[in-house]
A and B are shown apart, each in its own frame.
Chain A
Amino acid sequence: METQSLQIITASNQWGALLPEIILGCFAVLILFVDLLMPNLRRQIPRLSILAQLLAAAVLYTGICANCERTGSEVLFGGLLAQNNASDWMRLFFLLGSICVTHIGSVFLSRQSLARVEFHHLVLVVTGAFMILVQSQHFILLFVSLETVTIGFYILVAYRRDSRASLEAGLKYLIMGAFSSGMLLFGVALLYGAASNPELPMAARHPLNFEDLGVFIAASNELFNNSTNLMVLFGAVLVLTGICFKIGVVPFQIWIPDVYQGAPTPVTSFLAVSSKAAGFFLLYLLLDGPFAALGYMTTPLLTVVAIATLLFGNIAALGQRNVKRIMGMSGVAHAGILLMGLLASLKVDWALLAVFFYLVTYALASFGVFEVMAHVADVDDSDQDMDRYNDLLKREPYLGGVLLVSLGSLAGIPPLAGFMAKLLIFIAAFQAGLYWILGVALAGVVISIYYYFGWMRSAVMDNPFLADQAPASIASPRFGARLLMGILAGLTIILGFYQGFFPF
């Protein structure tokens, strides 16, 4: 009787499908023991961490190749988890991103007197949680993995406990993060209450499962005359609000500049790339899954949000001199473009690939910029003015070159990958008929060139007014850093000419 149904459920707990995440978890614990028991191996911990991620990536890639003919998604763990090609590529994206974060972190930590192994431990655990997050098919799994990510970030943002800026950023992120998690939970509770009502004919059996919830919402739309199931609407808006906080779109962007500035550079890059990507994929999962029948409400809402985000992000970045704040504000603007692509992907099939391509180019360019930043920054990396980059191209040609390529890609200068990514998203938005956002986005791109070029100019030219100041201490990149930056910048250039890796 009961044992039999339990056996059926446990049989679907196929842990093998989560092997990459399990590898990350095991190595996360292992490096703690290495630090504790083998002090002479402490120097190797970043390498061990990167090795673990490469191993997980290899396992994952093998899985992707083995499953390449799969269509649709494979539901595992009794409906908690669904794997499909999109989520598998996102997992690989997070793994490769976290390798960059680990490397930037090791460069950053080598110039600081801070705890080391804990940073790598946290990055591994958070990456594993990201990878589970994008496969989640159930609000409980979504919330648990999202909280694991968020708690990891609370710590990582406040990691430089001797710095005021870092602690302030940590506190701000803690409060905003807790607030947004609360919003999300309220929304989930309302959705649960609405969908599990036994008085309704179409009450869902597992109301927190995305698929069951989607079926319920579609059915309740018909029953409630297409627009008036208020509890569902309310819950959906609260859930979307919670996620919009995480990706930092207007009007939920207030935490971005301070947190990006105060957080250690590797953590800023982690927030800017992986966290944002996870939020967008989550938004896609929800909009395309359970909230698909609420398009009449979500599409106008997110259209307004996207327009406000594009305008605010670009205009607010204009007046900034601190490079980390510029990255934060321009990140808000990029979120607006991604949101546009996401809205397009609900109507145009290939637009999701365009969003993914955009995320990849954004990640390559951002990690390039942050890697340079980790070398250029002083011990106190929160206070980095543009003037610090004065004449970088002549002083450290390699760093300067990578910075120019990455910034050019972020601005969307033609031969580079960022241009192609923007173009593809704009075409998708045009096909989806999102003309208003498209117009604002085009204006935003023009504005963004101004502040990116301001930064590029100070890297290329020698400002005579700064000549009498002592030259800033810039770390010369070592072989590993040169290799990584070379790969990032090289891919940024190659993807601008050839996009054949992506099956558009």
Chain B
Amino acid sequence: MKEILFHFFAALTLLPAFFVATSRKPVNAAMNMLVSFVGLSALFVLLETYFLAILQVLVYAGAIIVLFLFIIMLIDPHKSPAPSLLRFLASIAAFALMVLTGYFLVYGPEAGPYAQLAAEAPASLSRSFGVALFTRYMLPFQITGFMLLIAMIGVIVVSRKDPATDGGEA
């Protein structure tokens, strides 16, 4: 049962992800991405990592997709031209190759015992996340703070219309 569910949700994650890359309308791409995120969060539920599943829905399916839709709405892009047949076939081949490689890595004759893996939840609770984040991974956490700071400053620098007006002694 669990295995069937896994394959179902894996397909639910991968197929829309493929359509994100190939769809010609940006809004369709964003909606496919939403479905893909939902599939991913279901996979997290199967792994009994409920906290990650909730985060996936709240942050990615909720906030990030809305952000994407806002940006799509703001720049109002046109429908991209239809790809040539060759490109279409190539993208399908690449997708199939990736899926087959994944299956070969896990189920292939020379793979390790990955397929029999019992689901084990190393971080099912928000508590274990918090504890790890603020003890063992304190340093990366602090660096992430600086990363967000420069990202914010970068947005201001790149998007400001007329920097000469307040650039100091310019």
Chain B interface extent, by class:
35 or more
Name B153's contact: one of A9, A121, A128 (CB within 8 Å).
A121
A-B pairs with beta carbons under 8 A, tally: 140
Kindly report which residue of chain B lies nearest to residue A143, judged by CB atoms. B140
Q: Does A231 lie within 8 Å of B137, measured CB to CB?
A: no
B157 located at the interface, meaning its Cβ lies under 8 Å from any Cβ of chain A in the complex: yes
B167 located at the interface, meaning its Cβ lies under 8 Å from any Cβ of chain A in the complex: yes
B55 located at the interface, meaning its Cβ lies under 8 Å from any Cβ of chain A in the complex: no
A194 located at the interface, meaning its Cβ lies under 8 Å from any Cβ of chain B in the complex: yes
Q: Does A231 lie within 8 Å of B111, measured CB to CB?
A: yes
Q: Does B158 lie within 8 Å of A170, measured CB to CB?
A: yes
Q: Does B158 lie within 8 Å of A230, measured CB to CB?
A: no
Binds A, one of B24-32, B36-44, B62-70, B143-151: B143-151
Q: Does A148 lie within 8 Å of B150, measured CB to CB?
A: yes
Measured between beta carbons, the chain A residues less than 8 angstroms from B116 are 199
Q: Does B112 lie within 8 Å of A194, measured CB to CB?
A: yes
**What count of chain A residues pass the 8 Å CB interface test?**
59
Shortest beta-carbon distance from A177 to chain B in Å: 13
Measured between beta carbons, the chain B residues less than 8 angstroms from A113 are 163-164, 167, 170
Name B160's contact: one of A78, A115, A125 (CB within 8 Å).
A115
Q: Does B139 lie within 8 Å of A81, measured CB to CB?
A: yes
Per-residue 0/1 for A219-243: is the Cβ within 8 Å of any B Cβ (1 yes, 0 no)? 0100010001111001000000000
Kindly report which residue of chain A lies nearest to residue B143, judged by CB atoms. A144
Contacts A145-B143, A155-B150; is A118 near B112 (CB within 8 Å)?
Answer: no
Shortest beta-carbon distance from B29 to chain A in Å: 16
Measured between beta carbons, the chain A residues less than 8 angstroms from B154 are 118, 122, 151-152, 154-155
Q: Does B147 lie within 8 Å of A147, measured CB to CB?
A: yes
Secondary structure dominating the interface of B: helix
A141 located at the interface, meaning its Cβ lies under 8 Å from any Cβ of chain B in the complex: yes
Q: Does B146 lie within 8 Å of A148, measured CB to CB?
A: yes
Binds A, one of B8-16, B72-80, B88-96, B102-110: B102-110
Measured between beta carbons, the chain A residues less than 8 angstroms from B137 are 80, 140
Q: Does B136 lie within 8 Å of A9, measured CB to CB?
A: yes
Expressed in whole angstroms, the Cα–Cα distance for A363 and B139 within the complex equals 29
Name A121's contact: one of B150, B168, B170 (CB within 8 Å).
B150
Contacts A155-B157, A197-B112; is A234 near B105 (CB within 8 Å)?
Answer: yes
Measured between beta carbons, the chain A residues less than 8 angstroms from B158 are 155, 158-159, 161, 170
**Using a CB–CB distance below 8 Å, which chain B residues touch chain A?**
101, 104-106, 108, 110-114, 116-118, 120, 131, 135-140, 143-144, 146-147, 149-151, 153-154, 156-160, 163-164, 167-170
Given contacts A42-B168, A80-B136, A220-B112, 4 further A-B contacts (CB under 8 A): A118-B157, A121-B153, A151-B147, A159-B157
3 shortest interchain CB distances as A-B pairs: A155-B154, A113-B164, A42-B168
27 A-B pairs with C-beta separation under 8 A: A13-B138, A29-B149, A35-B168, A42-B168, A43-B169, A77-B136, A80-B139, A115-B157, A115-B167, A125-B146, A125-B150, A129-B146, A141-B139, A144-B143, A144-B147, A147-B147, A148-B146, A151-B150, A152-B154, A159-B158, A194-B112, A194-B114, A197-B113, A200-B113, A230-B105, A230-B108, A231-B105
